[in-house]
A and B are shown apart, each in its own frame.
Chain A
Amino acid sequence: MLESSVVQKVLGAALRSGGEWAEVFVEDRRTSRGRLDDGRIEDMSSMRDRGAGIRVVVGETTGFAHTADLSEDGLRTAAEAASAVARSGGGGVKEVALTQQSQPQINTVKVLPESVEKAAKVAILKRANDAARGAGGAITQVSAAYGDTRRRILVANSDGLLATDDQVRTNFNVVATASGDTGMQTGYNSTGFTVGWELFDDIDIEEFARVAAQRAITKLRARPAPSGPVPVVLAKGSGGVMFHEACGHGLEADAVQKNMTVYAGRKGEQVASPLVTLVDDGTMGPEWGSFSIDDEGRPATRNVLIENGVLTDYMYDFLRARKEGRPTSSGNGRRQAYDMLPMVRMTNTYVLAGEEDPDEILRQTPNGVYIAHLGGGQVNTATGDFVFGIEEAYLIENGAITEPIREANLIGNGPETLKNIDAVGNDFAMGSPGMCGKMGQSVPVGDGQPTLRVTALTVGGTAA
Chain B
Amino acid sequence: MSELLDIASKVAGWARDGEQVEAYVARSNSTAVRIFDAEIESLSSSQSEGIAVRVVHDGRLGFAYAGSLDTDVLEETLNEARDNAVFAEADEWVGLPEPDGVTPADINLWRDSLQSVPTERKIELALELEKKLRATDPRIMTVPVAAYSDGWAEEAIASSLGVSAWQRGTQCGLSTYCVAVENGDTQTGFGFSFGREHADLELDKAVSDAAARATRLLGATKPKSRRMPVILDPMVTDDFLSVIGYPLTGEALVKGRSLFANRVGESVGSPVVTLVSDPTDATSMAADPIDAEGLASRRVPLIDKGVLTGFVHNSYTARRAGTKSTGSAVRSLKTAPGVGCRAITLEPGTKSQAELMAELGEGVLVLSVSGLHSGVNPVSGDFSTGADGVMFRDGQPAEPVREFTISSTLQRMLGDVTAVGNDVEQLPSGLSMSVAIGDVSVSGE
Q: What residues of chain A have their CB less than 8 Å away from a CB belonging to chain B?
A: 34, 37-38, 40-51, 59-68, 81-82, 84-85, 118-119, 121-122, 140-141, 177, 179, 183-186, 219, 225, 227-229, 255, 258-260, 262, 339, 341, 375-378, 380, 382-383, 385-389, 406-409, 411-413, 458-462
Contact = CB atoms under 8 A, between A and B. Distances in A.
Contacts of B48: 68, 339
B3 interface: no
Contacts of A185: 377, 379-380
B403 A385 contact: yes
Contacts, number: 246
A417 to B, nearest CB: 11
Given A46-B65, A377-B374, A227 B259 contact: no
Nearest to B375: A409
Contacts of B85: 44
A65 B377 CA distance: 39
A323 to B, nearest CB: 11
10 contacts: A63-B44, A81-B45, A141-B257, A382-B188, A383-B186, A385-B386, A409-B385, A411-B371, A460-B384, A460-B405
Given A85-B43, A259-B141, A46 B80 contact: yes
Interface in B64-83: 64-68, 73, 77, 80-81, 83
Interface in B384-412: 384-386, 388, 402-409
B405 A408 contact: yes
B136 interface: no
B187 A383 contact: yes
B89 A458 contact: no
B88 interface: yes
Given A406-B380, A409-B374, 12 more contacts: A37-B255, A38-B255, A42-B61, A42-B91, A45-B62, A47-B334, A62-B43, A67-B47, A118-B87, A185-B379, A186-B379, A228-B444
Contacts of A386: 386
Contact of A259 (B77, B179, B371): B179
A62 B336 CA distance: 35
A408 B254 CA distance: 27
Contacts of A63: 42-44
B64 A47 contact: yes
Given A119-B87, A260-B142, A409-B375, A45 B384 contact: no
Given A258-B36, A411-B405, A387 B256 contact: no
Contacts of A119: 87
A25 B179 CA distance: 33
A227 B443 contact: yes
A84 B31 CA distance: 13
Interface string B412-445: 0000000000000000000000000000010111
Given A387-B371, A462-B407, A62 B65 contact: no
Nearest to B81: A46
Contacts of B144: 255, 258-260
A178 B77 CA distance: 38
A362 B142 CA distance: 43
**Of residues A61, A118, A140, A409, which shows the largest number of chain B Cβ atoms within 10 Å of its Cβ?**
A409
A217 to B, nearest CB: 13
A260 B441 contact: no
A230 to B, nearest CB: 10
B179 A382 contact: yes
Contact of A61 (B42, B68, B385, B406): B42
A47 to B, nearest CB: 5
B436 to A, nearest CB: 19
A64 to B, nearest CB: 4
Contact of B89 (A41, A227, A408): A41
B41 A62 contact: yes
Contacts of A85: 40, 43
A31 to B, nearest CB: 9
B67 A50 contact: yes
A199 to B, nearest CB: 19
A230 B99 CA distance: 57
A186 B259 CA distance: 13
B205 interface: no
Nearest to B371: A387
Contacts of A260: 142, 144, 179, 188
B49 interface: yes
Contacts of B409: 462
A45 B66 CA distance: 11
Contacts of A219: 380
A19 to B, nearest CB: 12
A121 B83 CA distance: 14
Given A186-B379, A387-B386, A66 B41 contact: no
Nearest to B143: A258
Interface in B221-269: 222, 225, 254-257, 259
A82 B405 CA distance: 45
Nearest to A38: B255
Given A61-B42, A260-B144, A183 B374 contact: no
Given A118-B83, A118-B84, A228-B443, A380 B64 contact: no
B70 to A, nearest CB: 9
Nearest to A58: B40
A65 B40 CA distance: 15
Contacts of B111: none
Contacts of A41: 87-89
A48 B41 CA distance: 31
A373 B32 CA distance: 39
B63 A45 contact: yes
B382 interface: yes
Contacts of B179: 259-260, 382
Give the 7 A-B residue pairs with the shortest CB-CB distance, closest first: A460-B405, A389-B374, A387-B386, A387-B371, A409-B375, A44-B84, A49-B67
Contacts of A225: 384, 407
A36 to B, nearest CB: 8
B137 to A, nearest CB: 16
Contact of A59 (B39, B86, B403): B39
A387 to B, nearest CB: 3
B373 interface: yes
B84 A45 contact: yes
Given A228-B444, A258-B144, A262-B186, A184 B259 contact: yes
Contact of B64 (A46, A81, A258): A46
A61 B48 CA distance: 23
Given A339-B48, A383-B186, A461-B441, A43 B408 contact: no
A65 B44 contact: yes
Contact of B91 (A40, A68, A389, A459): A40
Nearest to A407: B382
A386 B388 CA distance: 12
B183 interface: no
B46 interface: yes
Nearest to B119: A84
Nearest to A260: B144
Given A62-B41, A409-B384, A377 B371 contact: yes
Contacts of A38: 254-256
Contacts of A122: 87
B381 interface: yes
B380 A462 contact: no
Given A62-B41, A462-B407, A387 B84 contact: no
